[in-house]
Amino acid sequence: MTTADPTAPPSPIEKVKADSRFLRGSIAQSLLDPATGGLAEADTHLIKLHGSYQQDDRDIREERRLQKLEPAYSFMIRTRLPGGVCTPRQWLALDDLATRFANGSLRLTTRQAFQLHGVIKRDLKPTIAAMNAVLIDTIAACGDVNRNVLASANPLASQLHAVVHDWAVRLSEHLLPRTRAYHEIWLDGAPVAGGEQEPIYGPTYLPRKFKAAFVVPPVNDVDVFAQDLGFIAIAADANSTILDGFNVTAGGGLGATHGDAATYPRLADILGFITPDQLLAVAEAVVTTQRDRGDRSNRKHARLKYTIETLGLDEFRAEVERRAGSQFQPARPVSFLSNGDRFGWTQSIDGSLALTLRIPSGRIADRVGAPWRSGLRAIASVHTGTFRLTPNQNLIVAGISASARPAIESLIKQHALSLHETASPVRLDALACVALPTCPLAMAEAERYLPALVSEIEARLHAHRLDGIALGVRITGCPNGCARPYLAEVALVGKAPGRYNLHLGGDAAGQRLNKLYRENLDEAAVFAALDPLFARFATERLAQERFGDFLWRSQLI
């Protein structure tokens, strides 16, 4: 248990927010400063709430230091895309921005959003403006506010999906900051004379980032227990078409710091069941409780999960009920079967077709032999349905009519977008965060190392005649957990260049945290550790038993 020290001074970021005049700071001036490709220090924090991070190319950071040049600054822009749904027109616009202003790639995130990397300062404004021109904004995509709201992308349950997606949009909008700063800075909106208010957040917003998700069982693709606030959709009937209400979860979160036992991944608690009409009030109550009771002095202790630990679940629930003006009912029973995506062609209940494509690490780029970006652009040019980004960094081409299928199929072939047909289950399910070279917090490679890592795992599995088994593998460049590694059966968590902590024993549906198994291993040591476990798994596993479950049952971890 951890407690907040009420006498501790607020963290410096609190002052930055407080002084920012509702997130304006000096961003506008920083953008115009031609002497640097970066922003003034305070603005680097504020711009996150506008959906962008200042980064630098870490591959050449040392080189530039020696050159007495500032780091190679550029910006990552993250969209707000509740539930991850976008139109082909929006896709084409983003694709165009990727070439014009970014590093030529689009990145699908574990929170169903797009990221552009490598946008230089003077292109920030045109890029954000162009996104808004196709109705994609970036407000609150980052920073101490409610982030992009997740919603299950399950292609089968199309009706319920639509309902839940609507809720995700409504919640996202309900919790949006009200400041006009965004419009002033990026969209040439007229400056506000004053008297601005943030009715939900107040002038210092939240103590820390806040994440909400909607999930439609039995697929837990959003990893709802890793979220600050979760809504598990409860269908009124067995056919899953009508929404009854939600089980509400709170206090999930994965970020941790190596060597700091006061930080840890935590699964969310279930607060109880609510009906849809309660939803916005309950969500707002959770947010304002965190706003007022969260730790504003220590950012490593500021997520809702720690607030709940400090208050105790009962007090927390009571406060939420008080603020929401309504009660939780006992939670409804639910069960989750998997947190992975279902790849390939599926037919929805409404009869339309969807194609779930595997996009490793969500990186959409044109590479030799894999012109995926061109392929998806070609698809977007003919597609009449929607695109859905999945919380596993994959992409669903949804709402395809039967007659359109052959055209799409031939584009898929032409552009080698067929991993869903060819890749092993391990490769299909693996997640990697961005890490190097853009992520400033990365301690080791993740995205760039994933393909080789998976190949090696495949080889080891093959050696034990385990080819074709499902195995959830996730890798992150640091312990922040962006690819939700602590829920995986096998996870590598970066510690230093080429070195990882090995975590083992997650389940297949995102309901169990794994355990730190070995620390600070290089690649050889990782496999030296895994190999004997694979060997025993190969001989001792029960029918259908997953590797993570086996490790617990056999008390190997």
Partner 1 sequence: MNASPATVMPAPQADSKLTSSLLELSRNLDAGTLRYLSGFLAGVAAERDRAAGNDNPGGKPVADASAIARATVLYASQTGNGRRVAEKLHRQLESQGLAARLVNVADFKPRDLANEKLLYLVVSTHGDGDPPDDARAFVDFLTSRKAPRLEQLSYAVLALGDSSYPKFCETGRALDERLAALGATRRADRADCDVDYQTVAESWSGKALEIARERLQSPHIAMLSAPPAQQMAADRDAPVATEVLTRTLITARNSDHPVTHLELAAPDGRLTYQPGDAVGFWHHNPAKIVDRVIALVGADPDRPIAIDGREYSLRGWLTEHREITRLARPFLDAHTERANNSELNQLHADGKPDALRRLLRDWQPLDVLERFPARWSAGDLVRALRPLTPRLYSIASSRASVGDELHLTVAAVDYLRDGQQRLGAASHFLATPGRGETASVRAYIEPNPRFRLPADPTRDIIMIGPGTGVAPFRAFLQHRVESGARGRHWLFFGARHRFSDFLYQAEWLEARRNGTLQRLDVAFSRDQSEKVYVQHRIRSQGVELARWLENGAHVYVCGDAQRMAPDVHEALLDVLTRHTGRSRDTADEYLKELASERRYARDVY
Residue with tokens 């954000």: 128
- Does residue 434 belong to the site contacting ligand SRM (CB under 6 A)? yes
For partner 1, give the closer residue by CB, 69 or 459. Answer: 69
255 binds ligand SRM (CB under 6 A): yes
Picked from ligand SRM, ligand SF4, partner 1, none, the partner binding residue 147 (CB below 5 to 8 A depending on kind) is: ligand SRM
Least distance from partner 1 to the Cβ atom of residue 94, Å: 24
CA neighbours closer than 13 Å in the CB half-sphere of residue 294: 29
Q: E strands of 83-196, at which residues?
A: 85-86, 106-108, 114-119, 150-151
Least distance CB 73 / ligand SRM (angstroms): 13
Check if 377 is active-site: no
Q: How far apart are CA 285 and CA 324, in angstroms?
A: 5
Q: State in angstroms the smallest separation of the CB of 447 from ligand SF4.
A: 8
Q: What is the footprint of ligand SF4 within residues 470-489 (CB under 6 A)?
A: 476-478, 480-482
What are the beta bridge partners of residue 356? 344, 396
Q: How far is the CB of 210 from ligand SRM (least distance, A)?
A: 9
Q: What is the pairing mode between strands 353-357 and 395-400? A: antiparallel
Whether residue 168 contacts residue 162, with contact meaning beta carbons closer than 8 Å, is answered with no
Instruction: Name which of ligand SRM, ligand SF4, partner 1, none residue 476 binds, using a CB cut-off of 5 to 8 Å depending on partner kind.
Output: ligand SF4
Among the options 78, 80, 121, 363, which is catalytic? Answer: 78
Q: Would you say the C-alpha torsion 232, 234, 240, 244 has a positive or negative sign?
A: negative
Q: How far is the CB of 35 from partner 1 (least distance, A)?
A: 5
Q: Is 439 a catalytic residue?
A: yes
Q: In angstroms, give the least distance from the CB of 444 to partner 1.
A: 25
* Cα first-last separation, the chain: 24
User: How far apart are CB 122 and partner 1 at their closest, in Å?
Assistant: 7
Cβ proximity to ligand SF4, 449 vs 547, nearer residue: 449
Within 8 A by CB and 6+ apart from 130, the residues are: 93, 96, 97
Least distance in Å: CB of 462 to partner 1?
42
Q: State the minimum distance, in angstroms, from the CB of residue 66 to partner 1.
A: 6
Q: Which residue out of 439, 474, 484, 495 is catalytically annotated?
A: 439
CA angle 108, 120, 26 (to 5 degrees): 105
DSSP letters for 7-31 = TSPPPHHHHHHHTTTTTTTTHHHHH
Please pick, among 296, 433, 495, 512, the residue that the annotation labels catalytic.
Answer: 433
Is residue 441 near ligand SF4 by the rule CB under 6 A? yes
**What residues between 444 and 463 interact with ligand SF4 by CB under 6 A?**
446
Helix or strand holding residue 289 (H, E): helix 279-293
Cα 390 to Cα 111, 230, 361, 466: the distances in Å are 8, 16, 11, 28
Distance CA 32, CA 277 (A): 46
Per-residue DSSP letter, 38? S
Among 175, 408, 426, 435, binds ligand SF4 (CB under 6 A): 435
Regarding 226 and contact with ligand SRM (CB under 6 A), the answer is yes
Using CB under 6 A as the binding rule, whether residue 434 contacts ligand SF4 is answered as yes
The residues that touch partner 1, with contacts defined as CB under 8 A, are 34-37, 60, 63-70, 72, 120, 122
Binder of ligand SF4 out of 274, 364, 412, 439 (CB under 6 A): 439
- Binds 503: which of partner 1, ligand SRM, ligand SF4, none (CB < 5-8 Å by kind): none
Identity of the residue, 37 or 437, whose beta carbon is nearer to ligand SF4 in the bound complex = 437
Query: Hey, what amino acid is at 455?
Result: S
Binder of residue 34, out of ligand SF4, partner 1, ligand SRM, none (CB less than 5 to 8 A by kind): partner 1
CA nearest 220: which of 392, 82, 364?
A: 392
Instruction: Please say which residue, 207 or 245, places its beta carbon nearer to ligand SRM.
Output: 207
Site string for ligand SRM, 50-69 (x = CB under 6 A): ---x-x--------------
In the bound complex, what is the minimum distance in angstroms from residue 36's beta carbon to ligand SF4? 23
DSSP reduced 3-state for 121: helix
340 binds, options partner 1, ligand SF4, ligand SRM, none, Cβ within 5 to 8 A by partner type: none
Residue 477 interacts with which of ligand SF4, ligand SRM, partner 1, none, CB < 5 to 8 Å by class: ligand SF4
Residue 271: other Cβ atoms inside 10 A: 23
Q: Distance (Å, rounded) from C-alpha 383 to C-alpha 464?
A: 43
Which one from 48, 80, 209, 317 is the annotated catalytic residue?
209
Residue 271: both structure tokens together: 């607060």
Report what 37 binds from ligand SF4, partner 1, ligand SRM, none; CB cut-off 5-8 Å by kind.
partner 1
Q: How far is CA 438 from CA 138, 210, 252, 446, in A?
A: 19, 23, 26, 11
Q: Is residue 305 annotated as part of the catalytic site, yes or no? A: no
Q: Which of residues 281-340 bind ligand SF4 (CB under 6 A)?
A: none
Q: Catalytic residue at 48? A: no
Determine, following the binding rule CB under 6 A, whether residue 115 of this chain makes contact with ligand SRM: yes
Among residues 42, 76, 12, the alpha carbon closest in space to that of 442 is found at: 76
Q: Tokens 């997130």 correspond to what residue?
A: 23
Cβ atoms of 512 and 503 closer than 8 Å: no
Instruction: Give the C-alpha separation, 173 to 83, whole Å.
Output: 12
For the question of residue 142 being annotated catalytic, the response is no
Catalytically annotated residue among 482, 484, 495, 512: 482
- Residue 513 gets the label, from left (phi > 0), alpha (psi -120 to 50) or beta, of beta
Residue 86 annotated as catalytic: no
279-293 and 158-174 are packed helices; what angle lies between their axes, rounded to 10 degrees?
40
363-364/106-108 β-pairing: antiparallel
- 482: helix, strand or coil: coil
Around 205, how many Cα atoms within 13 Å sit in the side-chain half-sphere?
30
Closer CB to ligand SRM, residue 123 or residue 184?
123
Residues that bind ligand SF4 in the complex, under the rule CB under 6 A: 433-435, 439, 441-442, 446, 476-478, 480-482
Write out the residues near ligand SRM by the rule CB under 6 A. 53, 55, 76, 78, 109-111, 113, 115, 147-148, 209, 211, 223, 226, 253-255, 303, 362, 393, 433-434, 438-441, 480-484
Active-site residue list = 78, 147, 209, 211, 433, 439, 478, 482
